[in-house]
Structure 1
């Protein structure tokens, strides 16, 4: 995943975070259902929580979906909140059913700050953000992370590629 971990985390934690987050994530276990909205993707992922956690990798613990956080009287809802046992930090996951746009980084940055302020305990390390988009331009993602002080990664996800590969390898009925 495109990330700014080296610039925003201590070296050992940065190396571990870089090894943990990948790109792309394979969500083919969701099936071939047309997942057009963030809410549909989010519901499908949490309905298949075990598969989702296995795809995320070792050490992730699920905290909740549409995790409510109140900032100055306004409620905000984090798509998926997780905790990473080896990084000792919260992982804020923002899902997008569309191509990456630079403005998504600002929203994720806000959520990370809110979690660090209102959820994180003093023993926890600073939270990490993961922005998962249907597709992304590496250059746009890289530019968007420049100057951002919160650790975050931007990755794409795949839902149908594996299905198409398997289907194309099967013999065709005549």
Structure 2
């Protein structure tokens, strides 16, 4: 709650509960992966992915309500070239695929373009007749808001860039932020 940019929305969520009506409702920023027990730096994307799969139950809880696991390193082939989507889920409530591409560094415009290609493929080749548009999440260690804004501008796909962090901030910092948040909204 203390890390959120939209504190009023977080308070409403705490009061009313989560309603899932659109793709934006299932995407978090940031995701917190404390359960992975990874070092703060110097790990590979494959290590991050394998730890998430090994801790799939905890990862699904962090993702939120409605996610069903489909596959890891899901292969798609375009003109005899193979590409691999890191993680594929199906969202039971929204009735759509959710593709996740993991990045251990800051997101780049190439990462966003790659996810857009994956989404176009899934829409054309994998979606069921009664399914909704797929959702793509590039889940990166860091993101530059301006780069993301320009790289996603004009893209009609439901493509989101979110951050993840391996650890929550110091408990004392969270307590101070929570007190401040409660004072501002009650005062």
- TM-score w.r.t. length of structure 1: 0.81
Which residue is 1:4 aligned to? none
Larger radius of gyration: 2
**Does the 8 Å contact 1:35/1:41 carry over to 2?**
no
* Unaligned residue ranges in structure 2 (runs of 5+): 5-19, 174-187
> What are the within-5 Å matches in structure 2 for residues 35-46 of structure 1?
36-46=43-53
**Does the 8 Å contact 1:83/1:89 carry over to 2?**
yes
Out of 152, 158, 173, which is 1:151 matched to?
158
1:75 and 2:82 aligned: yes
- TM-score w.r.t. length of structure 2: 0.76
* Unaligned residue ranges in structure 1 (runs of 5+): 2-13, 169-174
State which drifts further: 88-97 or 118-127: 118-127
Runs of 4+ displaced beyond 6 Å: none
Q: Distance in 1 between matches of 2:34 and 2:147?
A: 25
Out of 48, 52, 55, which is 1:48 matched to?
55
> What are the within-5 Å matches in structure 2 for residues 1-174 of structure 1?
16-33=22-39, 36-160=43-167, 162=168, 165=170
1:47–1:35 Cα change, 3 Å: farther
Cα drift, residue 35 of structure 1: 5.6
